[in-house]
Structure 1
Amino acid sequence: MSDQWLTWARKIQAIAQSGLAFSKDIYDIERYEQLKELSAEIIGEYSGQSTDEIVAVLSNESGYQTPKIDVRGVVFRKNKILLVKENVDNKWSLPGGFCDVGLSASENVIKEIQEESGFICVAKKLIALLDMNKHPHPKQIFHYYKIFILCEITGGQATCGIETEAIDFFPENNLPPLSLNRNTEEQIKMAFGFLKDPHTFPIID
């Protein structure tokens, strides 16, 4: 089945949210509320989630709708890449998460690496800015951009955080089961490409 339904539903939701943020006319507000509910019905119908669950998620959103930002830290040691095992699905990912307001992308990734792995790092280079829609991630309600930043360990030691249950370094040809909401095998191999050729230009989309 085509995923075009999700693209349409996201666009309807974004129009509704922006309309609710800026409209003053009570009739327009009512129409935008109806569009928001229609978006939730479409997503619920095709995803298997209840409309009430979708409405609850969308109700947390306000203002002009923009893509959400996820940042991932790419850390190598002895030609192996740092991955953390996520509590939520017992699979592995590059350390990272949603960007917090008030921190830059590099500050966010440094914070996430330390919280999830125990290692203290410095950010060295942006290696990729990817649109989640253009990669084989499981489908999400919202639209995400994923930022991958090459980092270097300067201190700390392997220590699990509240969201992780294991920490390890893996070679490119022996990756563990990956948390596909967070990163794909293609993206991990992309990261190894920067290890092999540090002069590679950042990748977009």
Structure 2
Amino acid sequence: MAASRIDSFDDPTAPKANSLVPSVNVVVVNEAGDILLIRRSDNDNWALPGGAMDLGESLPDAGIRETLEETGISVEITGLVGIYTDPRHVILYTSNGEARQEFSVVFTARPIGGQPTPSDESREVVWVSPSDVQQLTMDRSMRMRLEHYLGQGETPHLG
């Protein structure tokens, strides 16, 4: 059986969190206003590119690195969508039993080079019109992040 990621929200049967890892997601928007999305290889859901911050790097640098690794697109960070730390959101990684409490900062970015290219973590990499996002299968937390971006005012989401 392949390793997978299982997201749970406010589920009393979910495993108790046993780790907390600073992570990042990036809303990359091209000149046409399309959003860069990946189809994850671990759960087949659509998502924003992103991942865990490594020791020795800043969170914006992690966003730039993770976006390039997962999509083939080089980016420049341009802003902040929000901070997501809801302890009711637990992510189980079946490969090692890690049950991670959500801790993600979501940035905006613009592409500065590269071509959409899948990786070990992404089955597909596509530019999606904001009007088409609602049709895609994604975890509720990822959909919420995109909805916050699309409806965002001046203040980032804090929660």
| TM score, norm. by length of structure 2 | 0.76
Give 5+ residue unaligned stretches, structure 1: 6-45, 62-66
Structure with greater Cα Rg: 1
CA RMSD of aligned residues (A): 2.6
Match of residue 143, structure 2, among 178, 185, 189? 185
Show the counterpart of 1:159: 117
8 Å Cα contact 2:91-2:101 kept in structure 1: no
Q: Distance in 1 between matches of 2:62 and 2:110?
A: 15
8 Å Cα contact 2:48-2:142 kept in structure 1: no
Q: Distance in 1 between matches of 2:60 and 2:100?
A: 23
Higher percent of residues as helix: 1
Asked whether 1:125 is paired with 2:85, we answer no
Q: Distance in 1 between matches of 2:121 and 2:101?
A: 23
1:25-72: CA deviation from partner (whole Å, max 9, x where unpaired)? xxxxxxxxxxxxxxxxxxxxx44x7xxxx8xx95xx7xxxxx321200
Deviation at 1:149, TM superposition (A): 0.6
Match of residue 103, structure 1, among 57, 66, 69? 57
Match of residue 23, structure 2, among 56, 70, 74? 70
Percent identical? 21
Deviation at 1:131, TM superposition (A): 1.5
Match of residue 114, structure 1, among 61, 65, 68? 68
Distance 1:98 1:156, change over 3 A: same
**3-state SS of paired residue (1:108):** helix
Distance 1:4 1:168, change over 3 A: closer
8 Å Cα contact 2:90-2:102 kept in structure 1: no
**3-state SS of paired residue (2:145):** helix
Q: Distance in 2 between matches of 1:158 and 1:173?
A: 20
Match of residue 145, structure 1, among 103, 120, 136? 103
Deviation at 1:4, TM superposition (A): 8.8
Show the counterpart of 1:204: 158
Higher percent of residues as strand: 2
Q: Deviation above 2 Å: which 4+ runs of structure 1?
A: 137-144
Q: Distance in 1 between matches of 2:42 and 2:11?
A: 28
